[in-house]
């Protein structure tokens, strides 16, 4: 069952708050406490079915980053920068970097999660183990 609109909004809002907190603290997302909290949100998104293809409320790496980029006005800022042939503001560049970190982590977790069973069979394949 795909995630509800309310669940998706709540998860995105929590991601937004967490990323802005890390930005304000000047701390990278890749270390705790942020990494652990982000992973918990990832697990919630996966458990709700939000990482599957073609769900209405997309909580995949691309989906959450697109929503946050829109919320933060980054698409408009990038388009304006391109049209004016001028640099983006340091705040917008900083937020792009945060989204890049989130995108990379979310994609890595998705990949690992999808391949878990491949590397953790229910029957251990150890020498001497009964088949």
Q: Where are the domains of the chain?
A: 5-117
Handedness of CA 107, 113, 114, 119 (dihedral sign): positive
| CB-based contact 65:12 (threshold 8 Å) | no
Distance CA 91, CA 76 (A): 14
Q: pLDDT tens across 40-92, in order?
A: 999 999 999 888 878 889 999 999 999 999 999 898 887 777 778 878 778 87
What is the model's pLDDT at position 33?
95
Distance CA 29, CA 22 (A): 7
What is the model's pLDDT at position 75?
85
Return mean pLDDT, the chain.
86
Give the CA radius of gyration of the chain: 18
Which pTM does this prediction carry? 0.80
Q: Which carries the bigger pLDDT value, residue 48 or residue 125? A: 48
Q: Binning pLDDT at 50, 70 and 90, where does residue 6 land? A: very high
């Amino acid at each position: 069952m795909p995630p509800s609109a309310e669940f998706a909004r709540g998860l995105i809002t929590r991601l937004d708050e967490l990323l802005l907190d890390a930005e304000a603290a000047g701390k990278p997302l890749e270390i705790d406490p942020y990494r652990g909290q982000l992973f918990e949100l990832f697990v919630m998104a996966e458990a709700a079915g939000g990482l599957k293809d073609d769900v209405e409320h997309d909580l995949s790496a691309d989906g959450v980053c697109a929503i946050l980029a829109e919320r933060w006005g980054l698409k408009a800022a990038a388009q304006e920068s391109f049209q004016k042939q001028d640099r983006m503001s340091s705040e917008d560049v900083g937020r792009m970097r945060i989204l890049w970190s989130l995108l990379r982590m979310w994609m890595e977790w998705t990949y690992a999660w999808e391949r878990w069973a491949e590397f953790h069979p229910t029957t251990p394949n150890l020498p001497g183990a009964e088949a």
